[in-house]
Structures are given as structure tokens and as C-alpha cells.
Amino acid sequence: MSLFNVYPLFDITPVKAKDLAVYDNNGVEYLDLYGGHAVISIGHSHPKYVSAITNQVSALGFYSNAIQNPLQESLADKLVKLSGCKDYQLFLCNSGAEANENALKLASFHNGKKKILAFKNSFHGRTSAAVAATDDLKIVAPLNAQQDVDFVELGDLRTVETILKQNQTCAVIIECIQGVGGLDQSSTEFYQGLDKLCKANNTILIADEVQSGYGRTGDFFAFQKHGIQPEIISLAKGMGNGFPIGGILIHPEIKASFGLLGTTFGGNHLACAAGLAVLDVIEEENLMQNVNDISDYFMEKAKSLPQLKSIKGRGLMLGLEFNFPVAELRKKLIHHHKIFTGSAKNPNLIRILPPLTIRKKHIDVFFEALKKEL
Ligand code: PLP
């Protein structure tokens, strides 16, 4: 049977990895500055993570959500400790798209409204709000999505206000730093204004932290820099360091009832063990501080590139923007220097989303390679 061919693939077959090093089937070592799309938070095959999963699978890998699973509570407690989001409730699922679907559904259940407001160039997974950049990202929208989702320019509070006042919008969903769309962010004034407008119009604010969360920006969540209080926060990617797990944090004003949400695999024992190990390592290795230190170092180094147009993003969710398309440059980084980087909707942008365990020596290797190729 052939595979359903939806991804253009690089001709590399990774078979092994350790921290930032990935090895292919010929034993060639690559430096991973992409982390499998911001998924690898604590480094590949971290020993604590490996033993947590191994121990758990040999004890009990899975049982249904109809039976007590104390690991879910431990995960919730640890999340509160590291994120400071103490008043929220946790619902676990399997991916970012699923987290956002549940968030949108909950918002609509809560206030009885149906429409969604999202921002241009945003990306929220293959959900009904995933259509933001439909043409450019070649995402095929569900047939009804064009009617249900209003897309607004990032930063345009006036249009947000006009739409929310029509009292049809159950939720506004936003990435405080846009990922796939190209690392754009707006001002604190905008995010605070948005939060106020949502609260004034009985609309749920969903912070999509699927990519920007879990310490990647130096704060546990990217929205925390702006002092806002989203009613729902969606999580995935870095949460499991490669083990599929997602979730939503839900403000207590939204009440749970039996059957409101559900999932077979979400929050299973193995996923929780992986998620707990990730949080333990983030805490024990002080990785959020490392994010800030390495980010500063990266920014300084980037300033010395005369060809650079701008540096985008923050923490270890970074983009280097040039005045020319970077596809060839990225290929050279892979083939000549064995360095993985990422792309974005903006063809002139190299995306950097490394494991949060990255050190200065890795940044040095990257800039040396980049300077050679430029
Ligand atoms: N939200 C954001 C901000 C993302 O970047 C992504 C994936 O890239 C998603 C949601 C979807 O996550 P998943 O691919 O796990 O469904």
C-alpha cells in the first residue's frame, strides 16, 4: 500500500537522537535547531523521560478514562507549579488540533454563540479555525468554515470590537506569537484590549499556546508577558517531547459536566508519565532561564549578520528574516553543515525552534555555518 502523499520530504532518515543531535541511517549526525516543529522541549531521548515512559509502559500503559488515573492530577499540580495558572481546570487530549477543537466547542457550549474570530496568518491546526491563511498554507477549509470564522488583521482592535458587538462570536482564538504564519506578534496594548473586549462581550478568549507554550518564550506561556487572562489555554507539542499529548486549561467560570467533552486516548497513563517527566526536567534543569540566556546570546550573534533584515519572535521561538527567499540557504545548511532549521509562510524567513536544552556552542556552530553560506 502506498502512503497518502501530503508532505514534501527531505531525503533524510533519522534513526537515533540524543539531546540536539539526530543521527540518520548512515550514521551522519545533524544539529536539530527545529525540534520536530517545536515538539522537542527537553532534548531527544532525555534519560529521565526515557525511564519514565519505559517504567510506565511496563506497569500500565493505558486504561480508560472511566477509571481513576492519579497521574492526571499529578500532571495538573505540576502544571500549576510551573505555569502559575492556579485557578484553571485541566482536560487532556492528544494533539494541538484536538485541544483547539475542544476549546472552541467548550466556548460555544458556555455562551451559546457559534461564530469564531481568528487572526490573519494564524494557524490553529486542522480545526475549523485553521483556515486563516488558507491560500498560502494550502489548507483546505471545511466547507462551512468560511461562514463561521471571521478573520481579522492582527492588531486591529476596532474590527474586533465591531464583530464582537454583534453578539454572535463564542470565541476569539489567538497565538500571542504566530508560528507557521511567520512569528508576528502585536503590542501588549493590543492583547490587553482584546482581553477586555472579550470579557465585555461575553466571548471566550482562547490563547493557543500549542507552539509558544511550555517555556519556549522564556515565560511558561507567551500570553503571560502581556498580563492577560484567557479563559482557555490550549497546549500540545512541547508538552510530551514527542509523545502525543495535548490539553486545555479551563477557567473555573466554565463548568464541567459529565459527557461535555470526551476522548479515548487523552490523558492515558503513558502520556501522563511522558508529560510529567517533561515538566520535571524543565524545572530541575532550569530550562526557562536557559531559554532567556540562549535567546539573548542568539540575538547578539544575529546582529553581526549584515544581510539580515530582522529578527522575529522571542525566547527560542525565533525567525531570521532576509531580503531573499531562504529555501536554498536552508538546503545548504542541511546538506553542507548538517543543521536542521524550519521554514514559515514567509519565504524569506528561517525558523529556529530548538530543544530548550540548547547551549551556546550550538548557536556558535549555526552562525559559523550561516556566515559561510551567506
Ligand atoms: N496550534 C498551533 C499554534 C500550531 O502551531 C499547531 C501545529 O503546528 C497546531 C495548533 C496544531 O497542532 P497539531 O499538529 O498537534 O494538531
Joined together, the cell numbers standing for residue 117 give: 474570530
Scan for cell 490523558, then name that residue. Answer: 267
Distance CA 115, CA 329 (A): 41
User: What are phi and psi for residue 293, nearest 5 degrees?
Assistant: -65, -50
- Tell the residue nearest (CA) to atom 5 of ligand 1: 211
The mean pLDDT value for 144-152 works out to 69
Scan for cell 519505559, then name that residue. Answer: 54
Identify the pLDDT of residue 290: 98
Percent of the chain with pLDDT over 90: 85
SS3 assignment, position 246: strand
* Pocket lining: 370 vs ligand 1, CB cutoff 6 Å: no
Identify the pLDDT of residue 109: 92
Q: For the chain, which residues make up each domain, given as ranges?
A: 14-46+286-373, 48-284
Q: pLDDT for 200-223, tens place per residue?
A: 999 999 999 999 999 999 999 999
Identify the pLDDT of residue 126: 80
Q: Is residue 263 scored above 80 in pLDDT? A: yes
The mean pLDDT value for 266-285 works out to 98
Helices and strands (H, E) in the chain, number of each type? 12, 14
The neighbouring-strand residues paired with 14 are 24
The hierarchical CATH code for the domain 14-46+286-373 is 3.90.1150.10
3-state SS, 185-234, equals: CCCHHHHHHHHHHHHHCCCEEEEECCCCCCCCCCCCCHHHHHCCCCCEEE
Percent of the chain with pLDDT over 70: 95
Q: pLDDT for 14-57, tens place per residue?
A: 999 999 999 999 999 999 999 999 999 999 999 999 999 999 99
* Pocket lining: 222 vs ligand 1, CB cutoff 6 Å: no
The mean pLDDT value for 238-250 works out to 98
Q: In what order do the strands lie in the sheet with 339-340?
A: 14-18, 21-24, 29-32, 339-340
Give the helix, strand, coil percentages of the chain, each rounded to 5.
35, 20, 45
The mean pLDDT value for 267-295 works out to 98
- Identify whether the C-beta of residue 79 lies closer than 8 Å to the C-beta of residue 90: yes
pLDDT category, 139, cuts 50, 70, 90? very low
Q: Is residue 116 scored above 50 in pLDDT? A: yes
The mean pLDDT value for 250-274 works out to 95
Identify the pLDDT of residue 301: 97
Identify the pLDDT of residue 167: 97
* Pocket lining: 357 vs ligand 1, CB cutoff 6 Å: no
The neighbouring-strand residues paired with 157 are none
Q: Is residue 147 scored above 90 in pLDDT? A: no
Q: Is residue 146 scored above 80 in pLDDT? A: no
DSSP class per residue in 5-30: --S---S--EEEEEBTEEEETT--EE
* Pocket lining: 125 vs ligand 1, CB cutoff 6 Å: yes
Identify the pLDDT of residue 359: 98
For the CA of 122, the closest atom of ligand 1 is 3
Q: Is residue 144 scored above 50 in pLDDT? A: no
Identify the pLDDT of residue 137: 41
Distance 294 CA to ligand 1 centre (A): 25
pLDDT category, 130, cuts 50, 70, 90? low
Identify the pLDDT of residue 345: 85
* Mean predicted lDDT score pLDDT of the chain: 93
Distance CA 255, CA 250 (A): 9
Q: Is residue 143 scored above 90 in pLDDT? A: no
Joined together, the cell numbers standing for residue 34 give: 527545529
The strand pair at 317-322 and 308-314 is best described as antiparallel
Q: Is residue 163 scored above 90 in pLDDT? A: yes
DSSP class per residue in 139-155: PPPPTTHHHHEEEE-TT
Any idea which of 84-98, 128-142, 190-204 has the lowest mean pLDDT? 128-142
Phi and psi based region of residue 9 (left: phi greater than 0; alpha: psi -120 to 50; beta: remaining): beta
| 342 to 247, 301, 320, 329, 336: CA distances (angstroms) | 25, 19, 10, 11, 16
pLDDT category, 142, cuts 50, 70, 90? very low
Residue whose C-alpha is closest to residue 37's, from 353, 284, 288 = 353
- Identify whether the C-beta of residue 206 lies closer than 8 Å to the C-beta of residue 116: no
DSSP class per residue in 300-357: HHHHT-TTEEEEEEETTEEEEEESS--HHHHHHHHHTT-EE-B--SSTTEEEE---TT
* Pocket lining: 219 vs ligand 1, CB cutoff 6 Å: no
CATH class of the domain defined by 48-284: alpha beta
* Pocket lining: 175 vs ligand 1, CB cutoff 6 Å: yes
Identify the pLDDT of residue 6: 84
